[in-house]
């Protein structure tokens, strides 16, 4: 797999709390240059980025980020606002407390509510694998598969660890065929990126691959 094929699967990401417009603009320009799948940016920059990109690259943003314990009503409002501002894709964080309380019906209902708002827009569900047991990860594969969401995603990049090869293997074994997989957090080389894709990842959340290309 050549680097161009890998870049087509990348959500070129900048979610730092201190991100400036100049940095977001650079991310957008790099996404165009390297033909990435999308830019993944904070909600407050969606409108400006969408105007700047003018349809050249998809705009992805995050909901309930990074902790996931906002109420469903808040996540719904965030999602509606993001879509109105021009977001093409939504990456939502689940309520991990509901998972730990074994209230999986609540998790599924929330995902369904957001997917209903998203309609044809892509919805990715971040389950924060580093905070879950193997059994919880498998259960979340089932929940996401039954929810109507488009993707299951490993990580926010803001917790104790990011994507692992083992998590992607586990996802591939346990999600329904219609659910795609996004690996995010800690993808630092093209070799790692290729391995994630080979294991079943359809998307990669990272900024480091562009940095490698920029450094020549």
Q: What is the pLDDT of residue 56?
A: 98
91 catalytically annotated: yes
Q: Which of 58, 75, 115, 182 is catalytic?
A: 182
Which pLDDT band holds residue 79 (cuts at 50, 70, 90)? very high
Q: What is the pLDDT of residue 115?
A: 98
Distances from the Cα of 187 to the Cα of 98, 117, 152, angstroms: 28, 30, 17
User: How many CA atoms, within 13 angstroms, populate the side-chain half-sphere of residue 195?
Assistant: 12
Q: Which of 91, 98, 150, 192 is catalytic?
A: 91
CATH of the domain at 87: 3.20.20.70
pTM for this structure? 0.98
Q: Which of 58, 115, 124, 153 is catalytic?
A: 153
Total number of domains in the chain:
1
DSSP 9-40: TEEEE---TT--HHHHHHHHHHHHHHT-SEEE
User: Per-residue pLDDT tens for 126-163?
Assistant: 999 999 999 999 999 999 999 999 999 999 999 999 99
User: Per-residue pLDDT tens for 26-56?
Assistant: 999 999 999 999 999 999 999 999 999 999 9
153 catalytically annotated: yes
How many other C-beta atoms can be found within 10 angstroms of the C-beta atom of residue 55? 9
Is 90 exceeded by the pLDDT of residue 216? no
Mean pLDDT of 171-181: 98
Mean pLDDT of 97-124: 98
Mean pLDDT of 67-74: 98
| Structural domain that includes position 108 | 3-214
């Amino acid at each position: 797999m050549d680097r161009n094929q890998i870049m087509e699967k990348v959500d070129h990401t900048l979610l730092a709390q201190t991100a400036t417009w100049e940095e977001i603009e650079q991310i957008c320009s790099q996404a165009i240059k390297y033909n990435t799948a999308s830019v993944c940016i904070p909600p407050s920059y969606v409108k400006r980025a969408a105007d700047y990109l003018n349809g050249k690259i998809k705009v992805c943003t995050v909901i309930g980020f990074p902790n996931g314990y906002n109420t469903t009503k808040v996540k719904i409002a965030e999602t509606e606002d993001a879509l109105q501002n021009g977001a093409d894709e939504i990456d939502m964080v689940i309520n991990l407390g509901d998972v730990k309380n074994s209230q999986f019906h609540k998790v599924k209902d929330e995902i369904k509510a957001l997917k209903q708002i998203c309609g044809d827009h892509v919805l990715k569900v971040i389950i924060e694998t580093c905070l879950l047991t193997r059994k919880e990860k498998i259960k979340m594969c089932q929940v996401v598969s039954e929810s109507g969401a488009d993707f299951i995603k490993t990580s926010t990049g803001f917790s104790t660890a990011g994507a692992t090869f083992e998590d992607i293997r586990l996802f591939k074994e346990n999600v329904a065929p219609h659910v795609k997989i996004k690996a995010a957090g800690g993808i630092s080389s093209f070799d790692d990126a290729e391995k994630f894709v080979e294991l079943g990842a359809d998307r990669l959340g990272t900024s480091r691959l562009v940095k490698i290309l920029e450094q020549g």
